[in-house]
Each structure stands twice: as C-alpha cells, then as structure tokens.
Amino acid sequence: MLDASITTFFINKIESLPSGLVYTVVALLVFGEAAIFLGFVLPGETSVIVGGVVASQGRVNIVALCVLVVVAAIVGDTVGYFVGERWGQRILQSRPFRKRQDDLDRAIQGLRVRGPMYVFAARFTAFLRAVMPGLAGMSGMQYRRFFVANASGAILWGVAFSLLGYFAGSELTRIEHYSNWFAIGVLVVLLAVIGTIYLRRRQRDLRAKDDVTP
C-alpha cells in the first residue's frame, strides 16, 4: 500500500481534474500498471478507487467508469503479455526487477504450478498485478488461456474497486487503508469456490473410474 502522503496527494490531484480528464487519467494509470510496469510506482487500484469516489459526487458515470477500467486493465495486461514474450528476459535483468528477484522467482513458480488460476489470482495483489502479464508471456503460456483468466480477473477487480470507491464516498481514506483486506477477502472466497469445484470434479472422475474398473 502507498505511503499516506503520496496517496493523499494523488487523491487530491484526481479529484481536482475536470470530469473528462478523470476518465483519461484513471484509464491510463490502469493501462500502464502492467503495460509499462507503472505498478512498481503507483498501483492502479488506487486510481480506480478515487475514480469511484468522483463518480459518487456525480461528476463521472459509474457504469462508464467500470467499463473503462475493465477495458484498460485487459488491454494493458495484453500489452504486458506481449512485452514479456518478446523482451521479458532482458527486462528482468534491470535494476528494479533484480531487487525483487525472490518475489519474481515465487511468482514464476506459482505460474508454472497453477497456470491460469494464478493469473486470475494475481489481479488482486499489487506487485503481481504489475508483473504477471509479462511473466505469463515470458513463460510461453498460450495467449488464449492467459486472456480468459486475465479478463475474468479484470472484470471482477475493475467493477469491485470502482464500486468500492463509489459507495465509500467521503470515507476514502479509511476505505483505501482497508482495500488490501477487501481484495484478500474476495480472493479467499473465489479460491474456496474454485477449490470446491475442483475437488468435486476430481471425486466424480474417481467414481467414474471405479465404475469402469473390472
């Protein structure tokens, strides 16, 4: 999570923009988070929450904001995927990435083990949200598999955090402070559902196998 003074400065800047520019700035920050690794400096999640707050003031349309955030996230991550596919190894040798080598190694291992499920889950963690598209492209994951997992996560994340800011209104500082816990809660629920579905499917397959075994 960002330092409080940086967050406050950022909030004040976006809230002071004309309505049309709010859409533009939020979209560019969400797009740039993974496309140009802006997430190392400023998580797009903060801009989405602030955009939702501005929408609660009636200055931008919340539905349009949700759509814009989701599209910007998907397109930005797609650019990040192809950047990673072409220049990933070279980028990982740069100084900002060398400082996070242990985190990157864990992310690469998680991607190898869990594949698309890990791409989906990464959407709800600031560091992974910035690097996962590039790592997926570098790993050789099929783009179609990446796109489905990434788009699913982007839709849930974009709508949830836009609405979080919208319903938070003047309580932005408190909500921004707890937004990580909100993301973790959403992720835990989703992983529990996915795990349950997987276990039930596995049990069904095992029963089917037992039925055909002489």
HSE-CB at 71 with a 13 A cutoff on CA atoms is: 10
Average pLDDT over residues 42-53: 83
- How far is CA 20 from its chain centroid? 24
Mean pLDDT for 38-65 is 85
Expressed as residue numbers, the domain containing 197 is 4-212
CB 129, CB 43: distance < 8 Å: yes
Which token pair is 37? 């690794």
The pLDDT value recorded for residue 80 is 93
Stretch 145-172: mean pLDDT = 87
The better pLDDT of the pair 213, 49 is held by 49
Alpha-carbon distances, residue 160 vs 63, 157, 189, 204 (angstroms): 12, 5, 14, 33
For residue 33, give both structure tokens.
Answer: 């988070």
- Cα distances from 77 to residues 35, 128, 150, 153, 207, in angstroms, run 6, 11, 8, 11, 40
Tell me if 89 sits within 8 A of 98, measured CB to CB. no
Q: What's the rounded mean pLDDT across residues 49-78? A: 93
Please compute the mean of the pLDDT values over residues 144-148 and round it to a whole number.
94
| Band of pLDDT at residue 26, cut at 50, 70 and 90 | very high
Write down how long the chain is. 214
The vertex-126 CA angle with 37 and 172, nearest 5°, equals 115
Amino acid 98: pLDDT: 76
Token reading at 187 = 């992720």
pLDDT band at 155 (very low <50, low <70, confident <90, very high): very high
Contact by Cβ (8 Å): 26, 48: yes
Residues 169-202 pLDDT 10s: 655 555 555 555 555 565 566 566 556 665 676 6
Per-residue confidence (pLDDT) for residue 1, from 0 to 100? 43
The three-class DSSP label of residue 99 is coil
Give residue-wise pLDDT tens across range 109-125.
888 888 888 899 888 88
pLDDT reported for residue 171: 59
The reported pLDDT for the residue numbered 67 is 97
What crossing angle do the helices spanning 4-15 and 172-212 adopt, rounded to 10°? 100
Q: What is the tally of structural domains in the chain?
A: 1
Distance in angstroms (rounded) separating the CA atoms of residues 113 and 33? 25
Q: Which two tokens stand for residue 183?
A: 């993301």
Task: Please give the mean pLDDT across all residues of the chain.
Answer: 80
Closest by CA to 153, choosing from 196, 186, 114, is: 186
